[in-house]
Structure 1
């Protein structure tokens, strides 16, 4: 029997290529692995930052190590689910901001037991999955106009750049002006600027893996020159890299005091429904905005703005939140740092799978992540932020009903430190301006409904 060209191609595209459609996406195994490593290195700080934030609220023996393990396992599960089921290069991990809300607002501020707060996270995850399966989240994404989609992508870019500048100490808090310029001669700042220049040159010369090489070389400079850019010094001061005092392999510790400790009954009590609602709202629009922006950056959106496999993509986001709560950590969500891997060529779920595997390995090799300082990942965030601004040129800046909502979306994300706030302000402004200027029919009824809910949410929280 003669084998036709289609059959031959199908045979050659077996294995990873066939499962992830690497050839169809113009990618390769090497390219996806490189992108996954880049994403992991860019977001590996979560292994240390998340336990630091949550350990003040979750009081268990050996809290930091148990929370680190819970963070790594939850991030691995979320990333693997996104990669294997949704097949997109979007990594997931406990979200920054959501963990601070969990620890400081809910547990320490409101006095809610951490077990009950975990229950609230789990319930919000169930709601995410239900709305995803019913197609509600997909309908909302489709209803968002292209101008706001471009603005969401650009806003996330601005937010990423702000995170990078802040972690490098180039932008700092200032009591008089809220924000100010840090000491650029400080080791962390000049190291980040050097890494930014180095990585930018590599990218301009079209060097494959430029972002990854930039992170590794900048980290090597920090180690060799013994720059004080690592946490752990006396009274919170930074210090030089202390080496791998206990080796590069650490024995994993099962977080037995965290796993399965969530209190669902307490979370569903009438007095805590506002906590569940807040967890639900913030992650719904934060993750929806993040996934939309990342999908646009990856070229995954269709010409009419739809996201293929949207239901399973959003469902995996909700499932990851549920699993993270069961493991004992705050809401797991799509990570905006995935944009660094996408910029390295990540186009399929194999990128996310690589991230998930690396998080699993981190439970054994987590001391290695300690050699990557924030000053080394900051340049990647800044450069990726710059790349994500590309789409704003497609916004119709001559039409104020398009341009003002887009501008509010972009500027609100870094200034309010929230992707959800940027999306919310943009949607509300877009609907109000269109309605008041005789362009009611330009807006989907779904988007009007979303805007009404967003207004209710802000009023509701204001009265609380």
Structure 2
């Protein structure tokens, strides 16, 4: 009689050995399943896929190539490629369930401050993004993250995020015609009777309602619903005040190589700009600082929500986690887009149960699929993406509640940081005003020991820039 015949009836079957995928990602160890990870990846994609529409809309204001009329479409493909690569390395190498894509706020800084405001070519700006990514990787690998994180006070970190939110909201209102230039008051309310204005307002309310109802992918659905309204009612919201002209390029098409913007970084133009080295350093550091603190806060918060942060505040594979953010920024710059970074919308996938890198890989695969639907992207008017900018701006104001408004030494630098960004149409000015004012207040009140020496060094460099190099 065999051993099997001697076993008592009804004995449980031996446990099934975990698959290679399960072992690599630690799916069972994280109390998750493959179907749950796939579902979470889809949820994350739906929550952040609005970037496919919005990023090209922002960057196409600055990235212009003479004789080329499909830059917007090339930016759509580049956005998808950067998001797919960033999410893939985050999931495959770092094995975290966090997706990456070109960051909101950083794309606005790239387009409206560095290129249109400071006069750099977009090729030089891409070089600055690449260098900032290199710095991010190097500092992550050597473990210098903790020292740099401590250099800026929490109030300024929160204010930078909030200021970028206000700047994004202003850009969204400007793109929709809600606010316009005015000689006597600088800005004024636009003509509400114009189709782009009321279409954007309808989209804004609709998106807000969807978000309040906790609809997954609310921003994306808001963009799509607003676009449908523009098409159905044939509203004159497209280029030259025209209405929808039909799907002239079809709906599905094979993606093509974005050759006019990929691998166009110009390091020579960056370092030989009329503001010389300090100007280039300011641009690179601003890209670096904004991305560094945004990514640090985002990734730390997501890791904590995912159960990866221990009682000491440490995360497994932390160096790899942060290095993948820098690597994504470098790759995105090579492909022709602004800084690629971790997305807080990954929290949607985490809430859906995503706990491992398989979630991020799923999101990456969906961005690849999205590239085959690029003809649909051109159908989305600026008035439909404007509400997304305003909504994201509102979300980014959340950090203000962490600023101690009863302490003028904390409140004034935060105030200057937040309001200088939209009022001067420059994220760099907001960051600079905040750092300089914070440092001066600490020194002049005899409390200089309360801030890091690195903060004073940054403040000194920024003062030099404004006094001698502007």
Counterpart pick for 1:92 among 76, 83, 102: 102
Q: How does 1:102-251 map to 2 (within 5 A)?
A: 122-123=130-131, 125-230=133-238, 233=239, 237-251=240-254
On the 8 A contact 2:133/2:327 being kept in 1, the answer is yes
User: Structure 1 unaligned runs (5+)?
Assistant: none
Counterpart pick for 1:398 among 392, 399, 406: 406
**SS of residue matched to 1:334:** strand
On the 8 A contact 2:113/2:427 being kept in 1, the answer is no
- What is the CA distance between 1:410 and its match in structure 2? 1.6
Q: How does 1:39-78 map to 2 (within 5 A)?
A: 39-47=48-56, 50-51=59-60, 53-56=62-65, 69-70=77-78, 72-78=80-86
Deviation digits for residues 3-51 of structure 1 (CA, Å, limit 9, x no counterpart): 9xxx999999878783996969xx9654552332232224523335535
On the 8 A contact 2:442/2:450 being kept in 1, the answer is yes
On the 8 A contact 1:203/1:211 being kept in 2, the answer is yes
Which position in structure 2 is the counterpart of 1:360?
368
- What is the CA distance between 1:403 and its match in structure 2? 0.9
Partner Cα separation in structure 2 for residue 46 and residue 158 of structure 1: 17
Q: How does 1:253-332 map to 2 (within 5 A)?
A: 253-256=256-259, 260=263, 273=277, 276-291=280-295, 294=298, 311-312=319-320, 314-327=322-335, 329=336, 331-332=338-339
Matched, 1:38 2:47: yes
Counterpart pick for 2:27 among 15, 18, 33: 18
Partner Cα separation in structure 2 for residue 182 and residue 351 of structure 1: 43
Q: 1:116 to 1:228 in 2, by over 3 A?
A: closer
Q: 1:374 to 1:74 in 2, by over 3 A?
A: same
On the 8 A contact 1:84/1:350 being kept in 2, the answer is yes
Counterpart pick for 1:432 among 435, 440, 462: 440
- What is the CA distance between 1:366 and its match in structure 2? 0.8
Partner Cα separation in structure 1 for residue 208 and residue 70 of structure 2: 41
Partner Cα separation in structure 1 for residue 260 and residue 161 of structure 2: 39
- What is the CA distance between 1:209 and its match in structure 2? 4.0
Q: 1:11 to 1:356 in 2, by over 3 A?
A: closer
**TM-score normalised over the length of structure 2:** 0.75
**SS of residue matched to 1:91:** strand
Partner Cα separation in structure 1 for residue 424 and residue 311 of structure 2: 30
**SS of residue matched to 2:162:** helix
- The alignment of Structure 1 onto Structure 2 pairs a total of residues equal to 443
Which shows bigger deviation, 207-216 or 395-404?
Answer: 207-216
**SS of residue matched to 1:44:** helix
Q: 1:28 to 1:324 in 2, by over 3 A?
A: closer
- What is the CA distance between 1:393 and its match in structure 2? 2.6
**SS of residue matched to 1:384:** helix
The Cα RMSD (Å) is 4.4
Deviation digits for residues 293-321 of structure 1 (CA, Å, limit 9, x no counterpart): 64587585989998956654554444344
**SS of residue matched to 2:420:** helix
Partner Cα separation in structure 2 for residue 387 and residue 256 of structure 1: 35
On the 8 A contact 1:295/1:307 being kept in 2, the answer is no
Q: 1:90 to 1:163 in 2, by over 3 A?
A: farther
Partner Cα separation in structure 1 for residue 180 and residue 349 of structure 2: 29
Which position in structure 1 is the counterpart of 2:8?
none
Partner Cα separation in structure 2 for residue 121 and residue 392 of structure 1: 27
**SS of residue matched to 1:172:** strand
On the 8 A contact 1:187/1:227 being kept in 2, the answer is yes
Q: 1:353 to 1:8 in 2, by over 3 A?
A: closer
Which shows bigger deviation, 284-293 or 239-248?
Answer: 284-293
- What is the CA distance between 1:354 and its match in structure 2? 5.8
User: Structure 2 unaligned runs (5+)?
Assistant: 1-10
Pair member with larger Rg: 2
Q: 1:66 to 1:276 in 2, by over 3 A?
A: same
